[in-house]
Amino acid sequence: MKFILLLSTIGLCWAQYTPHTQYGRTSIVHLFEWRWADIAKECERYLAPNGFGGVQVSPPNENIVVNSPSRPWWERYQPISYKICTRSGNEDEFRDMVTRCNNVGVRIYVDAVINHMCGAGGGAGTSSTCGSYYNANNRDFSAVPYSGWDFNDGKCKSGNGEVSNYNNAEEVRDCKVSGLLDLALGKDYVRTKIADYMNHLIGIGVAGFRLDAAKHMWPGDIKAVLDKLNNLNTQWFDAGSRPFIYQEVIDLGGEAISSSEYFGNGRVTEFKFGTKLSTVIRKWNGEKMAYLKNWGEGWGFMPSDRALVFVDNHDNQRGHGAGGASILTFWDARMYKMAVGFMLAHPYGLTRVMSSYHWPRYFENGKDVNDWVGPPNNNGATKEVTINADSTCGNGWVCEHRWRQIRNMVAFRNDVDGQPFSNWWDNGSNQVAFGRGNRGFIVFNNDDWSLSTTLQTGLPAGTYCDVISGDKVDGRCTGTTVYVGSDGRAQFSINNSAEDPFIAIHTGSKL
């Protein structure tokens, strides 16, 4: 009996590392700043039919309304209360979204802002998305309620109460990051208030949480909050399922805090992934795709089963957070599709695809002065995500997850799930190829000359549709076809000036 009990505990521990996606679905998408009504529709009309596993949604709790600059994206990261009430929608709309998405097997992960409340300079009044009163100066958030007792002001040892020295772990965790009022997660009262909020969302049916600013919280304090969380809602999840947890920890090396301190609580964002991959695809610093042969742990990344990976996120696509100028985004579409394609083909980590909105990027002295701009809106009301005839999005929404090349690589990853990394080939420069067992094969040409070669794919003989240049529709291919011989070998030709200089085939694209 003891043996069985031990095994069941281990099983439960593991739950926080698995995203509870439906079988055969392996990727999540961040629908940044989307309204709940639009996400509900997208789950039904697009995400479920195309094999997406889940959605990371913007923080659903009440936040401060910032009018200078006008309604920036970052106001969502300045909580006023834990009421479900933002420009994405109210609690009824949130519940409807979670129900409808779960009913088609698409999970919802909430971006949980639990390290802090609004900025110290947030003033007082009811300039909040639900009209709740607050007084930042007095640390009065009566809608929670929090008071001066519930913040780390007395615990912070830095001169000005701010985080300025990232080589001091105490300062990073006990002081205010960018002026945001730092909650005292060491106190049971605060932990309970946060857990009550998260349990409210679990009851509604969410599958897990991204923990914003996890690096600014003590791992033990996070564990204390997680220990108070309920199991997931059995309407959609197996009894005893624990919420999936992934923690935002920016660790590019050289600081006091390392990602590994957080592995006990759940997965961790691997920021090195997008930073390094973007540098390679850009061919900066002498990097070459040939060097990607040992991609993953071989590049000094965290263990694959602890990593949440992405090419760009809502912060670093606009120069915030980590990664600097190398980060590839939708603005660099050709290279970006290659980077996302590589990420989705490679077995390392749990993959998250970004879905963005356009903003009027304008650089002055190397800085985008419009990096604050919020989602497409009419006088502060977020615009609907409209769908064009060609299935792209309108109203200023980018919808990278709907780009054929990215959508089809999400399906590729689903098809090759569990298959080993295999049949690597490179030309010593920027032409590379690799397979996933006997189910998938991908070839890249990022050199300034054409590629033409015969490669071992590991795939069964037959004719395959290249899912980068086209789609398999009614047993036919709208793009290039690839013929694999009985020996598993196939001829590949990729012009260096091709719109998308890569080819991907998998068993699901066999004609």
Angle at CA 319, nearest 5°, toward 313 and 323? 70
Contacts of 388 (CB under 8 A, 6+ apart): 394
Which residue has 């001066």 as its token pair?
A: 148
Please state, in angstroms and rounded to a whole number, the distance separating the CA atoms of residues 210 and 34: 16
- Can you read off the two tokens belonging to residue 268? 């961790």
Closest CA to 27 of 343, 326, 419, 425: 343
Which of helix, strand or coil describes residue 475? coil
Q: Is 248 a catalytic residue?
A: yes
Active-site annotation holder among 33, 38, 75, 212: 212
Please state, in angstroms and rounded to a whole number, the distance separating the CA atoms of residues 125 and 379: 21
E strands present in 187-293: 208-211, 244-247, 267-269
Look at the chain and count its residues.
511
Q: Integer distance in angstroms from the first to the last C-alpha of the chain? A: 52
Contacts of 209 (CB under 8 A, 6+ apart): 109, 110, 111, 112, 198, 201, 243, 244, 245, 246
Angle at CA 250, nearest 5°, toward 249 and 252? 135
Active-site annotation holder among 42, 248, 251, 312: 248
Are 61 and 85 within 8 A, CB to CB? yes
Give the long-range contacts of residues 137-140, CB within 8 A, separation 24 or more: 139/181
Q: Which is it for the CA torsion 299, 505, 480, 351, positive or negative?
A: negative
From residue 165, alpha-carbon distances to 60, 134, 172 in Å are: 31, 30, 7
Q: Is 174 a catalytic residue?
A: no
Q: Which residues belong to the active site?
A: 212, 248
